[in-house]
Structure 1
Amino acid sequence: MEGTIDGFRYGAVTPAAAYVMACLGGALGLRCIVRTLINPESWRTGWLALGATSIGSGIWTMHFIAMIGFQVEETRIRYSVPLTVLSLVVAIVVVGIGVFIVGHRGAGAASLSVAGVITGLGVAAMHYLGMAAMELNGDIRYDTVTVGLSLVIAVAAASAALWAAVSVRGFLASLGASLVMGVAVSGMHYTGMAAVDVHLHATAMDSWSGDSPTSLLLPMLLGPCVFLLLAGVVVMFDPLLVLGEGEWNRKAPRTAPEPEPAPSAFAPRNKGRQRSGSW
């Protein structure tokens, strides 16, 4: 028996909230990477780690906010906490690999291709690992062609995001890139969800007691959401990130001007002394 799937239980609320979180994580991550490019003498490892964690947390949060609106009408859904947490770790670690490759090697064709593939497959692995955390009275099956399409979208989205991270410097340009990144990540998620079919088991689920998906997911979503807010505070109060490269460079001479030697009234007298001493 095939289950009746509804991916928009709360209408447009969950897709919109998921998109906002994907954009927020992307925007913070891109600005952190730009920070290391504007000032190479800054603590590059720390900024890249903050950027990778922001992007990974944004993608993971986007996925599970969207999953709050997912239901199978004939059965209840629960989530395995260890697998759900593991999917967050995978998202951060794999995105971090791509970010560090591009952050240290730049946006060359080779480094960007390798980083894009690794990061894209990592994002897809996070998605399907999060799906594997679902527990219901049935088996989840996937359409192979649609899954392949979701992988292509994930790799393309990751490559575009990493390219933007090292190529786009201005604040407004980074904001636009993060909006595009949010569309790509959300597109990958819902493409992957379109591949899902649920084959129900014969036994009934009426006796399956337990917490609802929302009550399980919301506490786990709280941590990454708080982290993204704190990362936003760090970015907001960093003047180099707020001003951007061009404005910072224009204001730098005003804030730290080079001292020019003032003309001395005793210069001729000094020259005279030097001459008299040489006679």
Structure 2
Amino acid sequence: MQHFSSGLWTPVLAYAISVIGSLIGLSCMSRARNEVERKSKVLWTVFGALAIGGVAIWLMHFIAMLGFDVTSGSVKYSAPLTALSALIAVGVVGVGLSIVTFLRVTPVRLVGAGVLAGLGVAGMHYMGMSAIRFQGELSYSTALVALSCGIAVAAATTALWFTLVVKTAAARVAAGLVMGVAVTGMHFTGMAAVTVEADSTIPAPVGTDVFDLVFPVFVIGGLVVAVLLWTLFTSENDPLGETADNLG
């Protein structure tokens, strides 16, 4: 089993994508807090969920999985389960963001939202792992799985807290870097829990090669990032523009 079969570019790119998604998501949530109309708050919260859940978490996971390989044969993926894991990531993050956007935030609600979103993120990771098809089986270290879930909860809670307290561009960049470390740390802790048991008696895997998923995933991911950035920079009272003006 290898986690970096494609080279170190996969973890580096995964971290970079996680930071980019986190920065965009924090900007969207800054806009959500500043909006007065409920519909606008909902829209920006959805954008935040797409950025943090879809890009910072799920796309990071997908890129990191490009380095996963087993020496016993080819690895395939279930495309439907892979897509479902993306929906779960966006959905659970969206629920967590909605709690801190539309309800009066208390420490209990913040922690509760973080636990809900974190366990959902961990569920996304392990559902993504269940999409793997090869001649063998995966088993997991219970202790490391528990640790990865704990990191996911901590990362989600930290992300939700950042959406409330980050005010300046410098703080937003620092928060994005920290979120990137937390999200990628959760992923590779979960991967460290994996043990591969090869079994040549199992039929050859049926599914989609991971590199056949690269083009559609990168196109969709690129479009999401482009649309979110365009919306942020062209909308009125853009939080990035306001911050830049304040710093200037």
Do these two structures clear the TM 0.5 threshold for a shared fold by scoring above it?
Answer: yes
Instruction: Report what 2:223 is aligned to.
Output: 226
Give the number of the structure whose alpha-carbon radius of gyration is greater: 1
Per the TM alignment, residue 211 of structure 1 is displaced from its structure 2 partner at its CA by: 5.4
Q: Across the two proteins, how many residue pairs are aligned to each other?
A: 245
Question: Identity, % of aligned pairs?
Answer: 39
Q: Name the CA shift for 1:233/1:71 in 2 (closer, same or farther; >3 Å).
A: same
Q: 2: CA distance between counterparts of 1:93 and 1:115? A: 13
Structure 1 unaligned residues grouped into runs of 5+: 251-279
Residues 86 and 126 (structure 1 numbering): CA distance in 2 closer, same or farther, change over 3 Å?
A: same
| 1:166 Cα deviation after fit | 0.8
What is the aligned partner in structure 2 of residue 14 from structure 1?
10
Distance 2:52 2:153 in 1: 15
Residue equivalent to 1:216 = 213
Could you tell me how far 1:170 is from its partner in structure 2?
1.3
| C-alpha separation in 1, matches of 2:225 and 2:193 | 30
In the other structure, the counterpart of 2:242 is 244
CA separation in 2, counterparts of 1:49 and 1:216? 25
Could you list the per-position Cα deviations for residues 120-141 of structure 1 after superposition, in whole angstroms to 9, with x for gaps in the alignment?
A: 0111011000000011111110
Structure 2 partner of 1:124 = 122
User: Match of 2:24?
Assistant: 28
AA aligned to 1:225 is G
- 1:50 counterpart = 2:47: yes
Task: Report the Cα offset of residue 204 of structure 1.
Answer: 7.5
The superposition leaves residues 207-265 of structure 1 with CA deviations (integer Å, 9 ceiling, x where unpaired) of 668753212344234212321221122122334312336957x9xxxxxxxxxxxxxxx
Structure 1's 79 and 242: CA in aligned 2 closer, same or farther, altered over 3 A? Answer: same
User: 1-side partners of 2:29 and 2:49: how far apart?
Assistant: 9
2:197 counterpart letter in structure 1: H
Is the partner of 1:6 in helix, strand or coil?
Answer: coil
Larger deviation: 126-135 or 17-26? 17-26
Aligned residue among 201, 204, 208 for 1:203: 201
Counterpart contact for 1:79–1:216, Cα < 8 Å = no
- C-alpha deviations, 1:119-170, integer Å up to 9, x for none? 1011101100000001111111000000000001000000001000011111
Summarize deviations over 1:63-113 as a string: whole Å, max 9, x none. 011101110011211000110110011011111000000111254201101
Measured on the aligned residues, the alpha-carbon RMSD in Å equals 2.2
Tell me, yes or no, if structure 1 residue 37 matches structure 2 residue 33: yes
Q: Distance in 2 between matches of 1:22 and 1:245?
A: 22
Between the aligned partners of 1:69 and 1:202, the Cα distance in structure 2 is 22
d(CA) in 2 for partners of 1:50 and 1:120? 19
Amino acid at match of 2:103: R
Contact preservation (8 Å) 1:120, 1:157: yes
1:141 corresponds in structure 2 to 139
CA 1:244–1:107: 2 relative to 1, 3 Å: farther
Q: CA deviation at 1:56?
A: 1.0
What amino acid does structure 1 have at the position aligned with 2:100?
V
Distance across 1 between alignment mates of 2:63 and 2:200: 30
2:121 aligned partner, one-letter code: V
Task: State the distance in 2 between where 1:40 and 1:136 align.
Answer: 51
Gaps of 5+ in 2: none
3-state SS of paired residue (2:139): strand
TM-score normalised according to structure 2 size: 0.91
Give the Cα–Cα distance (whole angstroms) in 1 for the partners of residues 22 and 71 of structure 2: 33
In the alignment, the residues of structure 1 paired with residue 88 and residue 65 of structure 2 have an alpha-carbon distance, to the nearest angstrom, of 18
> Using the alignment, how far apart are the partners of 1:112 and 1:204 within structure 2?
46
Q: Quick one: distance in 2 between partners of 1:198 and 1:72?
A: 8
The TM-score normalised by the length of structure 1 is: 0.82
